[in-house]
Amino acid sequence: MRALVITLLCWCAGTASANILENPSFEVGSGNSAAGWDTDIRSGRYEFLVDPNAHSGRRCVAIQGTEAGVARWYTTDPFLIAGNRYRLSCW
């Protein structure tokens, strides 16, 4: 069984440290949902989980699958401005 755990997505614009994603650390939500994030399965069989064993904070998201395929947690595109630099980091 494979498990993919994504604990933090952080977009930072330019030199500012303001985060432009809603709920970037998945802390807001209940059960196996995270506010501002949706799930999608294109192929395969997967289960989407919110796990309390986070690297930092109280929650992280996980995708568990028993076969090859494509699944994702996703958020709507943040408002990006052409010409600006953005940094994406995750752990």
* pLDDT tens digits along 38-84: 999 999 999 999 998 888 889 999 999 988 999 999 998 788 889 99
Q: Is pLDDT of 86 > 60? A: yes
51 vs 89: CA distance, rounded Å: 20
* pLDDT tens digits along 6-44: 333 333 333 445 788 889 899 999 999 999 999 999 999
41 vs 69: CA distance, rounded Å: 8
